[in-house]
């Protein structure tokens, strides 16, 4: 399946969640098993060379792509969530947003020192959340070997916060 066919299954929703935002809705893509499978195939092809030992899915749509990719690659999936959502002991990291701050957490035993970790989410936008999640994994001793996303919104320049980490997107939007 071509990228154009996959892109056709991503719906633009204007003014969501607030006026001026053009939201990329992935639910039609998830409703098409063939298109979704193609996305996972493309992501797996792009990241296989990094020889990851674990995947980290970022709340919440990163869980969808992370779980499918973990199964495809035969790797464990660990979760990064908002505070209070994980049932076991956690490590957390707070980070600043444009207006306020946020915190992300991971189970203490999710990442071992030296683990080669691939980060997975649906969209790379401003890069703030992904950057914080990468720093959290590194705080636990993990090595970020790559970042995999379905969509990169390149006009928001999220790469600038992610230093030299390899970023792999199935598709990108320039504006």
DSSP 126: S
Q: Any idea which residues carry the catalytic annotation?
A: 61, 98
**Three-state secondary structure call for residue 40:** helix
Whose CA is closest to 170, among 28, 62, 39, 22?
Answer: 39
Distance CA 35, CA 7 (A): 9
Distance CA 119, CA 104 (A): 14
**If you compute the radius of gyration of the chain from its CA atoms, what whole number of angstroms results?**
16
Whose CA is closest to 58, among 104, 117, 110?
Answer: 104
CB 145 within 8 A of CB 166: yes
N- to C-terminal Cα separation, the chain: 24
């Amino acid at each position: 399946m071509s990228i154009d066919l996959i892109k056709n299954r991503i719906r633009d929703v204007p003014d969501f969640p607030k006026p001026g935002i053009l939201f990329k809705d992935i639910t039609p893509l998830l409703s098409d098993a063939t298109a979704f499978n193609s996305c996972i195939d493309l992501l797996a092809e792009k990241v296989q060379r990094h020889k990851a030992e674990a995947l980290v899915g970022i709340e919440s749509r990163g869980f969808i792509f992370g779980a499918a990719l973990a199964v495809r690659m035969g790797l464990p999936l660990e979760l990064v969530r908002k505070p209070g959502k994980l049932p076991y002991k956690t490590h957390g990291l707070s980070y600043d947003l444009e207006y306020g701050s946020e915190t992300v957490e991971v189970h203490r035993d999710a990442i071992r020192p030296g683990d080669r970790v691939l980060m997975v989410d649906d969209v790379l936008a401003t890069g703030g959340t992904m950057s914080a999640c990468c720093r959290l994994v590194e705080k636990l001793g993990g090595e970020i070997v790559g970042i995999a996303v379905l969509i990169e919104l390149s006009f928001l320049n999220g790469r600038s916060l992610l230093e030299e980490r390899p970023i792999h997107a199935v598709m990108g939007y320039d504006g």
